[in-house]
Amino acid sequence: MPDLAPYEQGSQMPRWPFVVIGLCCLVLVIWLKLPGLVLAGLIIALVYSIRQMRTHSPEISSLITSIQLSADEIRDVQEEWETFLNDPATDALADRTLHRPALADPDCADPDIQRFHFTLNSARRFIRRLEARLQGELTVPQLEGILQVTDARALDLRETWLAARRAAHHIGPNYGPDGDIES
Terminal Cα distance for the chain, rounded? 40
Task: Reply yes or no on whether the pLDDT at 2 is more than 60.
Answer: no
Question: Which residues touch 170 (CB under 8 Å, ≥6 apart)?
Answer: none
Per-residue pLDDT band at 176 (split at 50, 70, 90): low
My answer on whether 10 and 99 are in the same domain is no
pLDDT by residue (tens digit) across 92-113?
A: 899 888 899 999 998 989 999 9
Residues 20 and 80 in one domain: no
What is the identity of the amino acid at 64? I
Residue 182 clears pLDDT 70, i.e. is over it: no
Given a cut of 80, is residue 56 above it in pLDDT?
Answer: no
Domain end among 39, 56, 73:
56
Output 6 or 66, whichever has higher pLDDT. 66
Predicted confidence at residue 57, as pLDDT, reads 75
Both 33 and 95 in a single domain? Answer: no
Question: Of the ranges 11-25, 62-76, 90-104, 153-167, which one carries the lowest mean pLDDT score?
Answer: 11-25
Please check the confidence at residue 17 and state whether its pLDDT lies above 80.
yes
Considering the chain, what is the average pLDDT of its residues? 86
Distance CA 97, CA 10 (A): 47
Residue 76 shares a structural domain with residue 49 = no
Same-domain status, 160 and 88: yes
Express each pLDDT in 133-169 by its tens digit.
Answer: 888 778 889 999 999 999 999 999 999 999 999 999 9
Range of the structural domain that residue 85 is part of: 58-183
One domain for residues 69 and 141: yes
Q: Are 4 and 130 in contact (CB under 8 A)?
A: yes
pLDDT at 10: 46
Domain count, the chain: 2
Same domain membership, residue 70 and residue 36? no
Same domain (yes/no): 112, 26: no
Q: Among 91, 92, 72, 71, which residue's Cα sits nearest to residue 81?
A: 92
Q: Mark which of 11, 38, 56 sits at the end of a domain.
A: 56
Choose one of 20, 41, 56: the last residue of a domain.
56
Same domain, 154 and 142: yes
- The answer on 34 and 78 residing in a single domain is no
3-state secondary structure the chain: CHHHHHHHCCCCCCCHHHHHHHHHHHHHHHHHCHHHHHHHHHHHHHHHHHHHHHHCCHHHHHHHHHHHHHHHHHHHHHHHHHHHHHCCCHHHHHHHHHHCHHHHCCCCCCHHHHHHHHHHHHHHHHHHHHHHHCCCCCCHHHHHHHHHHHHHHHHHHHHHHHHHHHHHHHHHHHECCCCCECC
Whether residue 93 sits in one domain with residue 68: yes
Residue 104 shares a structural domain with residue 168: yes
Using pLDDT thresholds of 50, 70 and 90, give the confidence band for residue 78. very high
